[in-house]
Structure 1
Amino acid sequence: MKRIILLASGSGSNVENIITYFGKHEQVAVSAVLTNKNTAYVLERCKKLKVPALYFNKTAFLDTSVVFDFLIAQNPDLIVLAGFLWKIPQELVTAFPNKIVNIHPALLPKYGGKGMYGTKVHEAVKENGETETGITIHYVNENYDEGGIIHQAKTNISPHDTPEQIAEKVHALEYEHFPKVLENILLKNG
């Protein structure tokens, strides 16, 4: 059985979608969810879905080896950032080469980098008069949003779309593509 550990910072809609997708899968399972916000709604979603969820703070993530040691002990086949906003420490990137995957709500390299997440991305896409946007699923390296691109999916946007409407279109792409791409990564690698 291939095992995924998810990292999230917010409401966890992508987390729920991934857990549901792999819920009865014969080859892939979500073994745990980690969050850096003890008030994140993802914790409620995990309780409802009966998936172990753990909270950690910045000290456990950056200044000690608590999270690192947990991940090493769990030995997941993939670590998936599903709305996780902190930069991944170099030692984790090194320990899990091509095993940490992120989803970004734009077509990288556009609208990526530090501070570009969620609504900020959709507002920038709108302000710049883009005619399309989408999602990028990519490997994580030592820099924000610069790891190797695994998959991109696009959607058209009109000049009349609000940032909220753009977000809805992007979320639809995330829900459709993210679990399938993760499945493909895990099963094509043996």
Structure 2
Amino acid sequence: MLRVAVMVSGGGTNLQAIIDAVKDGTITNTELVAVISNNAGAYALTRAKDNNIPAYCISPKDYESRDAFNDALLDKVNELNVDLIVLAGFLVRIPEKMVHQYSHRIINIHPSLIPSFCGVGFYGLKVHEAALAKGVKVSGATVHYVDEGMDTGEIIFQKAVDVLDGDTPETLQRRIMEQAEWKLLPKAINKIANEHVN
């Protein structure tokens, strides 16, 4: 059984897609052991509680330094004894120490076809604003392993989504979530869970 912690900063729509996929059997051999947020007001924490998943808020604001926060985050993950960390809209850089300790055991969802519109500064609506400004006809989402860089790890899955005439950043974001993100992230977790089973 793959023990998964999901880290999320906001509303948690990707978290909900994961919860639903575990419930309906799209994801097998997986237990959601925790939801961790850096934001006490994140609706993702409510989603966790509503589904009886332990929820934790570990915020940089509560620590005197970034190093202290990084240590607290890593300590919590270690305490939970997780096999896989899923970043589902987690807007905090993962500490390098954690990246090394959990090498090839942290995955992230990014709302573009990497290597386009990724890296520092590309998150949330900013990704879709950049895609529309460039005039691309196709965008999408990517699930990848997390390494020391920003959106530079090995790609697991990608899915293309058409950009339509008249799209706004908001309509494009919603279509990419519905057609790509909410499908790719559960698919990636299920793949890892079933390769993990001995």
SS class of match (2:149): coil
After superposition, the Cα gap between the structure-2 partners of 1:60 and 1:92, relative to the gap in structure 1 and judged at 3 Å, is farther
Which of 62, 77, 80 aligns to 2:66? It is: 62
**More relative contact order, 1 or 2 (CA 8 Å, 6+ apart):** 2
Residue 112 of structure 2 is aligned to residue 110 of structure 1: no
Offset from partner CA, 1:91-141 (integer Å, 9 cap, x none): 000100100000000001110111111111111111110000000100111
Distance in 2 of aligned mates of 1:62 and 1:49: 31
After superposition, the Cα gap between the structure-2 partners of 1:189 and 1:61, relative to the gap in structure 1 and judged at 3 Å, is farther
Distance in 2 of aligned mates of 1:180 and 1:10: 22
How many correspondences in the alignment? 190
After superposition, the Cα gap between the structure-2 partners of 1:152 and 1:24, relative to the gap in structure 1 and judged at 3 Å, is closer
Moved over 4 A (4+): none
Do 1:61 and 1:67's aligned partners in 2 also have CA atoms closer than 8 Å?
Answer: no
Offset from partner CA, 1:144-167 (integer Å, 9 cap, x none): 111111110001112322212211
Which of 163, 173, 180 aligns to 2:187? It is: 180
Residue 84 of structure 2 is aligned to residue 100 of structure 1: no
Deviation at 1:24, TM superposition (A): 6.2
After superposition, the Cα gap between the structure-2 partners of 1:61 and 1:168, relative to the gap in structure 1 and judged at 3 Å, is farther
Q: Say what the alpha-carbon RMSD is for the aligned residues.
A: 1.6
Question: Structure 2: which amino acid aligns with 1:69?
Answer: D
Deviation at 1:28, TM superposition (A): 0.6
SS class of match (1:138): strand
Deviation at 1:175, TM superposition (A): 1.1
Aligned to 1:41: 43
Distance in 1 of aligned mates of 2:8 and 2:192: 20
TM-score (norm 2): 0.91
Q: Percent identity?
A: 36
Aligned to 1:5: 5
Aligned to 1:27: 29
Long gaps (5+) in structure 1: none
Distance in 1 of aligned mates of 2:38 and 2:32: 18
SS class of match (2:117): coil
Offset from partner CA, 1:28-83 (integer Å, 9 cap, x none): 11100000001111111112111111001113893222221121122211100000
Distance in 1 of aligned mates of 2:95 and 2:9: 16
Do 1:56 and 1:67's aligned partners in 2 also have CA atoms closer than 8 Å?
Answer: yes
Do 1:32 and 1:53's aligned partners in 2 also have CA atoms closer than 8 Å?
Answer: yes
Q: Which moved more, 1:90-99 or 1:62-71?
A: 62-71
